[in-house]
Chains A and B, each alone.
Chain A
Amino acid sequence: MLAPIIELEQLHFSWHDRQPVLDIPALTIAAGERVFIHGPSGCGKSSLLNIIGGINTPQQGNVRLLGQNINQQGSAWRDRFRADHIGLIFQQFNLLPYLGVTDNVLLPCRFSAPRHQRAISRYGSLERAASHLLSQLGIAKTLFNRPVTELSIGQQQRVAAARALIGSPELVIADEPTSALDSDSRNAFLQLLIDECDQAASTLLFVSHDNTLQHNFSRVICLSQLNQLKEAS
């Protein structure tokens, strides 16, 4: 088995002083896994993603990413770690409206030197890296320099996927990226995303409440079962 990319131990998390949200005894995700996380709303999905992304720190327990204990680091360190190692895709409105398609894709490379270098070492130049990923994800070359506001939602989500994948981060987190898409483009998007994660050797953490998608994944986690907290279910 490959080295674990995410290890959670005895995780307890609550928002400020309010009621607890997460209680996860253990979760390990190995590098290269395609993980589907589902669960009803309110079961703590976004809290879990915020903890893995290093935005929030748990009150108790350990969060190890790539073997590093991120919850013992400062927020600046976690910011840098996230920029270098994690690509993110949200539900919708992923793109900065004032940048063109290519510039949106290249954003992570501007904030992270390692991803900048990896993109260049793999494709020769940033522009070629962006155009390769965009083409793979089915964005026509004529759209590369267009404002993102001219794209359809499906196209926007694929641009967001290209952005999450550029510079080959070890982990790609997708937070309900298909919820705004119709079922045809949903499956197409998912297939492209998984293919590209395979290409980049990135682990994929895919959060959705649409259970029809789960057959595409190597592992399915139901958060409400994983989470030991009774109030949250």
Chain B
Amino acid sequence: MNTVAMLAWQSMKNRRLTAIMTILAIAVSVTLLLGVEKLRTGAKVSFSNTISGTDLIVGARSGSVQMLLYSVFRIGNATNNIGWQSYQDIAANPKVNWTIPISLGDSHRGYRVLGTNTDYFKHYKYGRNRQLQFSAGRQFNSLYDVVLGAEVAKKLGYQLQQSLVIGHGIGNTSFSKHQDQPFNVVGILKPTGTPLDRTLHVSLAAIEAIHTDWQSGAYIAGSGGDLPIEASQLQPTAITAVLVGLKSKMAIFGLQRSINNYRSEALQAILPGVALQELWAMISIAEKMLLVISSFVVATGLFGMLTVLLTSLNERRREMAILRAVGARPWQIFLLLMIETAGLTLAGILLAIVMLYGGLAITMPLIESQFGLFLELSWLSSYELRLLVVVFVGGALCGLVPGYRAYRNSVSDGMTVRV
């Protein structure tokens, strides 16, 4: 056994170029498999961590997944708003502990602007019930105060007291900007690892204020009246959604039902957890496809190894015959090939782990800034380890083919080689 392992090692060292290429092929494919798996679970964790403590999200009637996406993840847009009166009714419900009204629709250089009130800083929770914290400054108090998410401040290089202009609508190159009403940075939040980092927070009144002179989506100076803005009535008429916290979890379904049956407006209340589950169910097919595709890539890597080993067998017939002549048994020849395939697979897997974590360390900031996905550098999960065991067993089993052929050859060739 020791001798065979030594011979396998020396023989592979002699064919190091093909061995290294084989290991690389396996490593790259396994890295892909692990990477897909890490991204998948990372995305799930990241999504699940975005909101916590919120019992219901209320918005205009639409799909629950869509509502979750626009209200929490800043993905997509609301199809409709809800009236201010509806919000007042919900907030006044005795079962309700707190509410956070949110109003979306404007942006600043590609980052979404969220209109809300100061309850946001008090009640919004993410991760494991973590509250928002300021790395600098304070929450907004006056009309033109803005609080920046951590990434907005970092990427755009904004500091406290800086003034900025909010664009109308979303998108980086909004042509129409609320030029007339610049905002003043009063606070910067600590990083949360959620879409919140990519959000600018202003008061609901500010959202109203910047839209006073706007009629049907276009800016017409003076159309909102001549009154100075501070003095005008900046009560919003509509908001996008409400996050609701209840006094007792027991009341969730009752309140959900009564909101869904709200008479004066078509409202919908969703449970964030349930909507997340729906979202997972929707993308689980894509997830499975990804897993299938990366499994095929791994299979390709293993087939590559098989091809290389089978091709090499012919030129190694003499090696096998010499080994037989000096006393190696056919099963030892078989073992030699098995050790080689198992060794190559194992080396590929180990290299894949190195490549995975190296790659993650390099690309994590990129993924974070490009996709807002915050991956954790966690050790391989038991599921991932099981995947690796499957790959290893599959690779080792591949050795049966060249192993058996070499065995057959060495039995029939014996000590004489006919090449």
- Which residue from A53, A80, A96 sits with its C-beta under 8 Å from B415? A53
Is B327 located at the chain interface by the 8 A CB criterion? Answer: yes
Q: Which of B6-14, B61-69, B237-245, B389-397 contacts A (4 or more CB under 8 A)?
A: B6-14
Given A53-B414, A96-B319, A97-B14, is A108 in contact with B326 using a C-beta cutoff of 8 Å?
Answer: yes
Is A117 located at the chain interface by the 8 A CB criterion? Answer: no
Is A123 located at the chain interface by the 8 A CB criterion? Answer: no
CA–CA, A76 and B330, complex, Å: 8
Is A55 located at the chain interface by the 8 A CB criterion? Answer: yes
Note all chain A residues with C-beta closer than 8 A to B322.
93-96
User: In the complex, given contacts A49-B416, A50-B416, A83-B326, what are 8 additional A-B residue pairs having Cβ atoms less than 8 angstroms apart?
Assistant: A49-B415, A55-B324, A55-B415, A88-B326, A93-B322, A96-B319, A96-B323, A107-B323
Interface of B is mostly: helix
Is A163 located at the chain interface by the 8 A CB criterion? Answer: yes
Given A53-B415, A97-B14, A98-B10, is A88 in contact with B325 using a C-beta cutoff of 8 Å?
Answer: yes
The 3 A-B residue pairs with the shortest CB-CB distance in the complex, in nearest-first order: A83-B327, A111-B327, A55-B414
CA–CA, A76 and B332, complex, Å: 11
Interface centre among B318, B326, B329 (most CB of A within 10 A): B326
Note all chain A residues with C-beta closer than 8 A to B13.
98
Note all chain A residues with C-beta closer than 8 A to B327.
79-80, 82-84, 107-108, 110-112
- Which residue from B10, B326, B414, B416 sits with its C-beta under 8 Å from A111? B326
- Which residue from A79, A88, A99, A175 sits with its C-beta under 8 Å from B330? A79
Note all chain A residues with C-beta closer than 8 A to B3.
110-111
Instruction: Please report B residues at the A interface, Cβ cutoff 8 Å.
Output: 3, 7, 10-11, 13-14, 318-319, 322-330, 332, 411, 414-416
Instruction: Please report A residues at the B interface, Cβ cutoff 8 Å.
Output: 46, 49-50, 53, 55-56, 75-76, 79-80, 82-84, 88, 90, 93-99, 103, 107-108, 110-112, 163, 175
Selected A-B contacts with CB under 8 Å, 7 pairs: A75-B330, A84-B327, A98-B11, A103-B10, A107-B326, A111-B332, A112-B327
Given A95-B322, A107-B326, A108-B326, is A50 in contact with B415 using a C-beta cutoff of 8 Å?
Answer: yes
Give the residue name and chain of the A residue nearest to B319 (CB).
A96
Note all chain A residues with C-beta closer than 8 A to B411.
75
**Distance in Å from the Cβ of B397 to the closest Cβ of chain A?**
25
Note all chain B residues with C-beta closer than 8 A to A110.
3, 327
A50 contacts B326, C-beta separation under 8 Å = no
CA–CA, A98 and B6, complex, Å: 11
Given A56-B414, A93-B318, A111-B3, is A99 in contact with B326 using a C-beta cutoff of 8 Å?
Answer: no
